[in-house]
Homo-oligomer: A and B are copies of this chain.
Amino acid sequence: MSFKTNATIAEFGGKLLKLTHDSSVTKTPMNVNLYIPPATTSKIPVVMYLSGLTCTPDNASEKSFFQYWASKYGFAMVFPDTSPRGADIAGENESYDFGTGAGFYVDATQEPWSVNYNMYKYVHGELIDKLTEAYPELDFSNISITGHSMGGMGALVGYIRQPRNYKTVSAFAPIANPSVVPWGEKCFGGYLGEDKSTWAKYDPTELIKDYKGDDSSSILIHQGLNDNFYEKELKPQNFVDAAKNYKGGVDLRLVDGYDHSYFFISSFVEDHAKHHAKYLGLKL
C-alpha cells in the first residue's frame, strides 16, 4: 500500500484516516488526513482543503467542523500538510512564514528549496494520483477545492490553473494577491527568486485576469473585518477587481467582527460546504 494508516477515527458517521506516505515529489514522508463520509451508493465526490501557515493536517481536521457537513452532504475531504517536514534544509525552521509549515503550494525553483518544496505538484498531482489508486470509492474526477489564508491562495491558484478539473473553489481569508504583500514577497522571493515575472503563476489576482476556463461557477470568499492580516497580507478586493470578466462572479462576504482563526472558519464552513455540494452535484 502507498499509504500507511496511523489512525482510523470514527467521526460523524464516517471515518477520519490519518495517513502517511512517501512522496517522490517532496522526497520526504508526507502526512495527510482523509475524511470518508458514511457509505452511499454512488462514487463519493471530494473537497480538497488547503490549510494556512504553520498548520499540519490535524488543525483543520480538529477545528474546522467541515466533516459535519461532509457527512451530511456526502463528500470526502482531503487535508494535506502545508509543507514537507524534515527536509533538513538550513533555515527551514527559523520562521513561521517560510520553510516548514509554509510551503505556499508552489514548486520552488531556487536552491536548496527546489529539491523538496514542490507543494503544487505534490498536492494537485502526486497526492491525488495516489489517493485515486488507494481509495477507489472516491471520485477524484468530481472534485473541488477550498482553503484558508495561504491555503485559500493555494485553492484559488489550483482552481484557476486547473491541474485538476476542480468544479468550484472557495476560500477563507485567502492571501489573494501574494506578489504585493510581505508574506508573498518573502516566500516567493525565497522559493521562486527575485524575478517577479515568475510569481504571477501563483498569484490568484494575476491569474484570474487571463482565465480562459469554464467560468460558470461562483467563487465564494469570506473575509473577517477584525482579521489583523486583512489590510496588510490578504487584499481580497484586489482579486475581486481583477476578476471583473469572470462570469460566475466573486461572492466576497466581508463579515464584521471576525478574526483569522478557526473560530472564523468554523462559523462559515456551512456556507462553503453548501457551495461545494451544489457544484459537485450533491443534494442539499
Among residues 238 to 270 in chain A, which have CB atoms less than 8 Å away from a CB atom of chain B? 255-259, 261-264, 266-267
With A10-B264, A263-B11, A263-B16 known as contacts, the answer to whether A65 contacts B65 (CB < 8 A) is yes
- Are A9 and B263 in touch, CB under 8 angstroms? yes
A216 on the B face (CB < 8 A): no
- When C-beta atoms are compared, the residue in chain B nearest to A258 turns out to be B10
- From residue A274, how far is it (CB to closest CB) to chain B in Å? 15
A94 on the B face (CB < 8 A): no
A224 on the B face (CB < 8 A): yes
Residues of B within 8 Å of A11, CB to CB, are 263-264, 266-267
- Are B226 and A10 in touch, CB under 8 angstroms? yes
- Are A259 and B65 in touch, CB under 8 angstroms? no
When the two chains form the complex, which single residue of B10, B261, B267 contacts A267, counting CB atoms closer than 8 Å?
Answer: B10
- Are A266 and B65 in touch, CB under 8 angstroms? yes
- From residue A36, how far is it (CB to closest CB) to chain B in Å? 13
Count of identical protomers in the assembly = 2
Among residues 56 to 103 in chain A, which have CB atoms less than 8 Å away from a CB atom of chain B? 62-63, 65, 68
- Are A10 and B263 in touch, CB under 8 angstroms? yes
- From residue A260, how far is it (CB to closest CB) to chain B in Å? 11
A182 on the B face (CB < 8 A): no
- From residue A19, how far is it (CB to closest CB) to chain B in Å? 16
A259 to B7, CA, bound (A): 11
Residues of B within 8 Å of A224, CB to CB, are 10
- Are A9 and B259 in touch, CB under 8 angstroms? yes
Residues of B within 8 Å of A68, CB to CB, are 65, 68, 266
- Are B262 and A62 in touch, CB under 8 angstroms? yes
Residues of B within 8 Å of A258, CB to CB, are 10
A262 to B62, CA, bound (A): 8
A229 on the B face (CB < 8 A): no
- From residue A168, how far is it (CB to closest CB) to chain B in Å? 24
- Are A10 and B62 in touch, CB under 8 angstroms? no
Among residues 160 to 209 in chain A, which have CB atoms less than 8 Å away from a CB atom of chain B? none
A13 on the B face (CB < 8 A): yes
- From residue A154, how far is it (CB to closest CB) to chain B in Å? 24
A12 on the B face (CB < 8 A): yes
- From residue A10, how far is it (CB to closest CB) to chain B in Å? 4
Other A-B contacts than A9-B259, A65-B266, 10 sampled, CB-CB below 8 A, are A10-B224, A10-B257, A10-B263, A11-B267, A12-B267, A13-B267, A62-B63, A62-B262, A63-B63, A65-B68
